[in-house]
Structure formats: C-alpha cells, structure tokens
Amino acid sequence: MNNSSPLGNRDLIRAINRSIILNTIKTYGPIDRAQVARVTGLSPATVTGITSELIETGLIFEKAPGDSRGGRPPILLAINPKGGYVIGIKLMEDHALGALTDLEATVIAKDQVLLPDQSATSVIRMLARLVEKLISKAGIGKKKLIGVGIGLAGIVDFERGLLRQSPFFGWRDLPISELLQPHVKVPIYLDNDVNTLSMAEQWFGAAQGIEDFLTLTVGRGIGLGIVANGRFYRGTGGGAGEFGHTLVDPDGPICDCGKRGCLETYVAYPGLLREAQLFNPNIKTIDELLDLNEKMDPDIKSVLGKAGDLLGRSVANLINLLNPKLIIVGGEGVRLGKNFFNPMQSAIQKYSVPEMFSDCQIRIEPWGDDAWARGAASLVLRQLFENPVHQSEFNFFQGS
Ligand SMILES: [Zn+2]
C-alpha cells in the first residue's frame, strides 16, 4: 500500500502544498494566512483555498484574533489536536501495547492484549482487537481514526510495510500492514520500534529542532535509531542501526542473531542475568536483579559497572563516527540506574574525541510504559504532517 502514488500531477502538487501548509501551521502556529504565505512562498489564493479545506476536515481551526496595531486583527490558524486520532502499537514477544493519541501525540487511551501464541494469524487477530478496544475506550467515532502505526523489534521494510526479519517471532518477510489492513480500514505504517521512538523524540520530544541525534535503547536487546541531517537513516534494506550486533569478541557468547560476542550479549538483559548468575545462581529474572541492585548488592554493582563501561566504549565509537548533538537513552533498561549509567558516561567521555564529546549531550529518559506506543503513534503523525504522497491515503482527505 505504501509505495504506489495514485496521484496525478495536479493532485500531487496540491497534496505537496497541503503538506507544506500543514507542517508550517504545526511548526509556527498559531499563525495567520498572510504569514503562512510568506513562510511557504505560496500565493495567498493557494493558502486561502487549502486552509479552508483543512478547516473543513477539522485538522486546523481558526483561533481568537491575534495582536493588531490598528485595523482588523488577523485570524490565527492552529492545528486542532482533536481533529483526528491515531493509534500506536508496540508489538512484543507475548503481548502488544497500544495507545490512542490526538494529533499532538497526547495519549487519550491505553490498553494491551496478550498473544495466545506466536502464529501470524493470531497475532494479526489480536492487533485488530486491540485497535477496536482502543477506539471504544477513547469513545471516538471510527471515522476519526486516521491511521495505525506499529513498532516492533527487527528489520522492517518501511516502504512496503513488511517485517523482513523478527528476532522474537522467527517470522521472515511477513506483510503485516497488508494482513491487518482489511480489519482496520485505515493506513497502517510499520517500522522498527527504536525508529518509532526516535520519531516521537524528533516530533514531540527532546530532539525537536535537532538535526543529528541518536536514540539508544537498552533492555531485552540494544537498539539504535539514527537521525542525520534531520532525516532518518535506514540503510539500503531498512536494517541500519543494528548497533546491538556490533562485535565485541568473536569468541564471546552466542547471540540471538546466530553470531558470537555481539555487544548485546554483554549489555542487554539476558547477558546481565548470565553474568549475575556467576555470582548468585539464585537470580532468575531481571526484576530480581534490579531488586538486588536497589539494595546496593556489591556483586550486581560490579556486573552492571562492567556492562555499562562496555556500552560506553561502543557509544564512544558511535560519537566518533557520527558526531551527534544529542543521544537519548531510553527503553526498559533505564531502570538499571546509576550503577550502569555512570560507568557508561565515564567510558563515553574517556574514549570519544574530546571535541565531539563536548558537542554531544547525553540524556537518559525516565521510562514510561506508553513511550513505545506513543512512538508508534508518531509514525502516523509524521506521515500526516510531512509526506504529501502518503497523505492521499488518509481517509479524511478523501471526504469520508
Ligand atoms: Zn548478534
């Protein structure tokens, strides 16, 4: 569904202009029509035509008059956060988390479904049920839903809505968007979960206005989202950012990916557990490890310290390679706390080029369960505000 452009030239130009105007109002609003024309370079007539269309669809609205120095006060345009809603879903090994948000990514309703098994048929059925549950929980009309975004671990072909490889489900080349579409009847976007998290940061979070930043996630695995020159870097096949599978030791432990000694075999949850069990074989889960960490268990402190230091060395390599302005650290693993992250920060400082280290701010985000789902919702919002070709797919531009 994603790679065809059914628009003729005139329609395409109009869709591009609509996208530019919408994005301008999102970025600079509240803003009057004359300013929109100045910022975009479009003619006042074009701006007037397209903004009335956007008002009609409910996407923008006219705010109270702005300041004026004599004469009639200008009417200001702003995004109407309640003009439409999107759903973001984070699909995990045994359950899926969902959030329904408004156009500013504010969460209106949250819910989750458990996956009875890992067959594609039953996962698709449960995703469809989650969408239904969220719509009814939020109490919005079905027609107000403009799209569904799904984030999941693995290699994703974003353009085709295709999951190429999934570490948890063992699926290969599964067209998730195509399979789910008949059940939800709105555009569906699929991306790697770390990319969706980066998108939320870029559009609504700490990375607003920052052209070069990285999103690093710690938890069950290690993930990396790369934004360079303001754009997502996906690589040729959508696989860029598999930072967790960079090599630390070719003779190291076996990794999920089939190779040995990848970074995440040392610093993600399973690796941390393995190391902790060398000291204390009774530790069975990551929650038990976190408990002991809170009690300042010296063995756990040393395990986390070693892992944090190792991650920091690898992040220093990233800084030297990409010179980012900001690194946002998120994911369940932020709960590992200072025994992990202090050594990480020290190693980053020690091993990165000083000039590039001082360019780079490192920000460890507090963890909230809905961050992933909100990220997936941003996947749809970004399409709405940014991409004129994909905009043609949204229901309410087709007058329904
Ligand atoms: Zn690996």
User: Is-above-0.85 flag for pTM?
Assistant: no
- Length of the chain (residues): 400
71 phi, psi to nearest 5 deg: 75, -175
The pLDDT value given to residue 391: 54
Mean pLDDT of 100-123: 93
**Cα(116) to centroid(ligand 1), Å:** 28
**Cα(196) to centroid(ligand 1), Å:** 21
| SS3 call for 379 | helix
Q: Where in the chain is the domain with CATH 3.30.420.40?
A: 84-198+377-398, 207-364
Residues 200-228 have pLDDT tens digits of: 888 888 998 899 999 999 998 999 999 99
Residues 27-68 have pLDDT tens digits of: 888 999 999 999 999 999 999 999 999 999 889 999 876 665
Q: Are 146 and 86 in contact (CB under 8 A)?
A: yes
Cα-based torsion angle of the residue sequence 303, 304, 306, 311 in order, rounded to the nearest 10 degrees: 140
Q: Are 86 and 37 in contact (CB under 8 A)?
A: no
Mean pLDDT of all residues in the chain? 90
**Cα(253) to centroid(ligand 1), Å:** 10
Q: Where in the chain is the domain with CATH 1.10.10.10?
A: 9-79
Q: What is the CATH number of domain 207-364?
A: 3.30.420.40
**Cα(173) to centroid(ligand 1), Å:** 20
**Superfamily (CATH) of domain 84-198+377-398:** ATPase, nucleotide binding domain (3.30.420.40)
**Cα(242) to centroid(ligand 1), Å:** 9
Instruction: Identify the burial level of 121 via C-beta atoms within 10 angstroms of its C-beta, where 0-12 means exposed, 13-18 middle and 19 or more buried.
Output: exposed
Percent of the chain whose predicted confidence (pLDDT) is above 90: 66
Pairing between strand 155-157 and 145-152?
unpaired
Mean pLDDT of 133-138: 97
3 pLDDT band, cuts 50/70/90, is very low
Q: What is the CATH number of domain 9-79?
A: 1.10.10.10
Pairing between strand 222-228 and 231-232?
antiparallel
* 44-56 and 9-28 helices, crossing angle to 10°: 80
